[in-house]
Chain A
Amino acid sequence: MRPVLVKGGRVIDPSRQLDQAADVLIQDGRIAAVESNVTAPEGAETIDASGMVVAPGLVDVHVHLREPGKEAAETVATGARAAAAGGFTSVCAMPNTDPITDNQAAIGFIVKQASAANGARVFPYGAISIGQRGEQLAEFAKLIEAGAIAFSDDGHPVLSSHLMRTALEYAQAFGIPVADHCEEPSLAKGGAMHDGVVSTRLGLKGIPAAAEEIMVARDVILSELTGGHVHLCHISTKGSVDIIRRGKENGVNVTAEVTPHHLTLTHDKCEGYNTNAKMNPPLREEADVVALREALKDGTLDMIATDHAPHHYEAKERDFDDAPFGIVGLETALGLGVKELVNGGVLSLPELMRRMSTEPAKAFHLDAGTLEPGKPADLVIFDPGATWTVEPTEFHSKSRNTPYAGHVLAGRVERTIVGGRTVFQRDS
């Protein structure tokens, strides 16, 4: 493999508190050196990164790639390419496919599709329970052998506290997180959006913040009971943040993620029955957005994850109650982070890279999120000053369901490198 020299960029590596002008040398698919004025070895490809940020590739621990089962909406290959276009080099695929990844064969299929995909690395989640039915524990050890990197029943909450306790205990032998979609189903049942003044005006059934917070509290308590690592998916409310913060202060083994949309939009976006603003958990209120941003800054929320949820055009083309939950997020996440969080004064650029790469890699024990010599050469090169308009027809994802169409974002990915190989490059 030809060596690659990324020259003249601003290198940000939160894993080593690095933020300086430097060159990055890649050899045999791994980082060989991060220094100033590296001389290009014989036959090296040189990439001019002047004016660019060079950072560890982004890591997204929460995506839905729809394959197997709903290939019209997304496949592992298109999802991996969309990820690469968004600057991601590793994504973790949720188990609610059809069939569900609750067995070795299904996990093996994802691994096989991932190895053929020419994009970001794709790591499968295993289901916590057989059929995601919330009854019988899946075979964690066998699924890990087949390639699972964590467990979740996402798409559904783990309703049984007994099952959640067991999963947190059992997973400890393997040292991997159990991720929960926190939603108390009897409170959320039939809900289409956040329970508040907008749902009242639109006449839609609301999902109260309490539906999430009750399960967040339960999971923190069960993590404390068991010592197991619980990872809380897509936190959306101020109340959840308060509970997690208290848990962390007490040393509970909890990590939590927040989506770009919960950090940037409120329930007002549902006005006009906009089905591209329908997601679960729903968009909340201004006070929640403020609390989520603070929590991301102080580390109560460890990471940003997109909850990339592609849906075929027809699926969202219906009345609000009937439309499915979820939006695509891989190709807008960095642009939203730079525009809303960095330019918005919430995080520094290195802090954003930490929350989008180093922290998720650390929590999920992925060999990523760093530019340390010897590590896999997964990196993103982006122009932090460039602004661009979201045009869904240009997405690499098969789906277009985004509430950000027409929004102007900042920070544009120029190139994404996985294992030393360019998997995405912007056409100039």
Chain B
Amino acid sequence: MIRDSSSSAPSLGKDLLGLEPLSADQIRLVLDTAEPFKEVSERAIKKVPTLRGKTIVNLFYEASTRTRIAFEFAEKRLSADTVNIAAAGSSVEKGENLVDTARNLEAMRIDMVVIRHPASGAAAFLADRIPSNVINAGDGWHEHPTQGLLDLLTIRDKLGRIEGVRVCICGDILHSRVARSNIWGLLKLGAEVAVCGPRSLLPRGIEELGVHVFKHPEEAIEWADVLNVLRLQLERMQAGYIPSLDEYYRVYGITQKRLERAPRDVLILHPGPMNRGVEIDSMVADGPHSAILQQVTNGIAIRMAVLYLLSGGTPERANVAQAEDVPAGVRR
């Protein structure tokens, strides 16, 4: 394997476009850097001056309350100046808009851009055209790297390791950027990965990425240490991929009843927002093995780590800087 970064000190490079292009060392770097940032959110004054004077644009061509808020909190807690742009982006206009947007952003001397876009490859498109750091907050069905990273961090927190852990991603893999980022991140860190869902929602050649395929959730539950349950977009029914939500729940829903037959405790993740009673039942989502709320908390730490590393920070300084920045007395 060829590593793209130098062996001595891995860095993230200019952009974070996906987990596929990252090395295991680069992924570990983000996870390790996130650790001290977790603590910032637990303080009374949840702010460090790390990115003071930096300007960040959150450019969302798709509605996403959750991801946008997580980025915004991360940016604010690092003291960056932020602007949110919500572009409606009709399918006809979106290509033209992206070229123009890139030119405008360049003219405004923005330091970082966080982009969410319905087209796969949109983040890379932007990154190729502007000198600012670009963070992919989800592009089409392609990747959602910060979600993948926060899922990895959550698994590591809960199970103490990632290598050798068996993770099954359940649901609509075909249309899921979360699934793709998870697959790459997990495989690179040595986990075993499987997917489970109706064949009509699994993309062609998925096995060639190095994942197992389970036809039934019972098999997945029998095998897995972790289930990452994806949101089922309600449009998939109209598009003819599945007959009904009710039938989906019956065959593929992750229910307490199904989990009771697991030979071991199974950690439950879900990227949210959940469709309770479709892909997951509430007893599972709110149960003792659910890490869904921790994912939300980790989401902020991961994004702080990514923003920090892309702006040129190093993991050692992340610790030191914060220790010095925190006024005495407010430390936890």
> Are A and B part of the same complex?
yes
Secondary structure class of chain A's binding surface, majority of residues: loop
**Using a CB-CB cutoff of 8 Å, which residues 121-144 of chain B contact chain A?**
121-122, 124-125, 139-143
Q: Could you list 26 examples of A-B contacts with CB < 8 Å?
A: A195-B204, A196-B205, A197-B205, A199-B203, A200-B204, A200-B206, A201-B20, A201-B180, A201-B209, A202-B120, A203-B121, A203-B177, A208-B204, A272-B124, A273-B125, A317-B99, A319-B98, A319-B119, A319-B121, A320-B119, A320-B120, A321-B119, A321-B120, A322-B94, A322-B95, A322-B119
Residues of A within 8 A of B120 (CB): 202-204, 273, 319-321
- Interface status of B96 (Cβ within 8 A of chain A): yes
**Using a CB-CB cutoff of 8 Å, which residues 181-216 of chain A contact chain B?**
195-197, 199-206, 208
CB-CB nearest 9 A-B residue pairs: A318-B95, A203-B142, A197-B205, A273-B121, A203-B141, A322-B95, A319-B119, A203-B120, A200-B203
**Using a CB-CB cutoff of 8 Å, which residues 323-358 of chain A contact chain B?**
323
**Using a CB-CB cutoff of 8 Å, which residues 94-126 of chain A contact chain B?**
none
- Interface status of B42 (Cβ within 8 A of chain A): no
A318 touches B209 (CB 8 A): no
User: A289–B95 Cα gap in the complex (Å)?
Assistant: 32
User: A323–B120 Cα gap in the complex (Å)?
Assistant: 12
Which B residues have a C-beta under 8 Å from some C-beta of A? 20, 91, 94-96, 98-99, 117, 119-122, 124-125, 139-143, 177, 180, 203-206, 208-209
User: A197–B94 Cα gap in the complex (Å)?
Assistant: 26
Residues of B within 8 A of A317 (CB): 99
Selected from B96, B124, B141, B208, the residue in CB contact (under 8 A) with A197 is: B208
Distance between B2 CB and nearest chain A CB, rounded to angstroms? 16
Closest to A208 in B: B204
A203 touches B95 (CB 8 A): no
| A 272-289 to B, binary, CB cutoff 8 A, 1 in contact else 0 | 110000000000000000
Distance between B226 CB and nearest chain A CB, rounded to angstroms? 22
A318 touches B96 (CB 8 A): yes
User: A206–B139 Cα gap in the complex (Å)?
Assistant: 16
Residues of A within 8 A of B203 (CB): 199-200, 206
Residues of A within 8 A of B91 (CB): 322
Closest to A323 in B: B95
Residues of A within 8 A of B143 (CB): 203
Residues of A within 8 A of B121 (CB): 202-204, 273, 319-321
Residues of B within 8 A of A208 (CB): 204
B209 touches A200 (CB 8 A): yes
- Other A-B contacts than A201-B209, A272-B124, 11 sampled, CB-CB below 8 A, are A199-B204, A200-B205, A202-B121, A203-B121, A203-B177, A206-B203, A206-B204, A318-B98, A318-B125, A321-B119, A323-B95
Q: Which of A196, A201, A202, A323 has the most chain B CB within a 10 Å cutoff?
A: A201
Closest to B118 in A: A321
Closest to B205 in A: A197
Distance between A287 CB and nearest chain B CB, rounded to angstroms? 13
B124 touches A273 (CB 8 A): yes
A319 touches B122 (CB 8 A): yes
User: A96–B177 Cα gap in the complex (Å)?
Assistant: 36
Residues of A within 8 A of B119 (CB): 319-322
User: A401–B209 Cα gap in the complex (Å)?
Assistant: 31
User: A200–B208 Cα gap in the complex (Å)?
Assistant: 10
User: A161–B94 Cα gap in the complex (Å)?
Assistant: 36
Residues of A within 8 A of B125 (CB): 273, 318-319
Distance between A310 CB and nearest chain B CB, rounded to angstroms? 18
Distance between B248 CB and nearest chain A CB, rounded to angstroms? 21
Residues of A within 8 A of B122 (CB): 319
Residues of A within 8 A of B208 (CB): 197, 200
Closest to A189 in B: B239
Distance between B174 CB and nearest chain A CB, rounded to angstroms? 8
Distance between B19 CB and nearest chain A CB, rounded to angstroms? 12
Distance between A38 CB and nearest chain B CB, rounded to angstroms? 57
A203 touches B180 (CB 8 A): yes
Selected from A195, A204, A205, A319, the residue in CB contact (under 8 A) with B95 is: A319
User: A293–B269 Cα gap in the complex (Å)?
Assistant: 49
Distance between B302 CB and nearest chain A CB, rounded to angstroms? 21
Residues of B within 8 A of A203 (CB): 120-121, 139-143, 177, 180
Distance between A140 CB and nearest chain B CB, rounded to angstroms? 35
Distance between B186 CB and nearest chain A CB, rounded to angstroms? 15
Closest to B208 in A: A197
User: A314–B117 Cα gap in the complex (Å)?
Assistant: 20
Distance between A346 CB and nearest chain B CB, rounded to angstroms? 27
Distance between B291 CB and nearest chain A CB, rounded to angstroms? 26
User: A196–B177 Cα gap in the complex (Å)?
Assistant: 17
A318 touches B99 (CB 8 A): yes
Residues of B within 8 A of A322 (CB): 91, 94-95, 119
User: A202–B125 Cα gap in the complex (Å)?
Assistant: 13
Residues of A within 8 A of B141 (CB): 203-205
Closest to A315 in B: B95
User: A321–B205 Cα gap in the complex (Å)?
Assistant: 20
User: A195–B200 Cα gap in the complex (Å)?
Assistant: 13
User: A323–B125 Cα gap in the complex (Å)?
Assistant: 12
User: A197–B207 Cα gap in the complex (Å)?
Assistant: 9
Residues of A within 8 A of B204 (CB): 195-197, 199-200, 206, 208
Residues of A within 8 A of B96 (CB): 318
Q: Which of A195, A200, A318 has the most chain B CB within a 10 Å cutoff?
A: A200
Residues of B within 8 A of A202 (CB): 120-121, 142
User: A399–B141 Cα gap in the complex (Å)?
Assistant: 31
Distance between A175 CB and nearest chain B CB, rounded to angstroms? 42
**Using a CB-CB cutoff of 8 Å, which residues 202-242 of chain A contact chain B?**
202-206, 208
User: A278–B68 Cα gap in the complex (Å)?
Assistant: 32
Residues of A within 8 A of B117 (CB): 319
User: A205–B96 Cα gap in the complex (Å)?
Assistant: 21
Distance between B241 CB and nearest chain A CB, rounded to angstroms? 12
Distance between B54 CB and nearest chain A CB, rounded to angstroms? 27
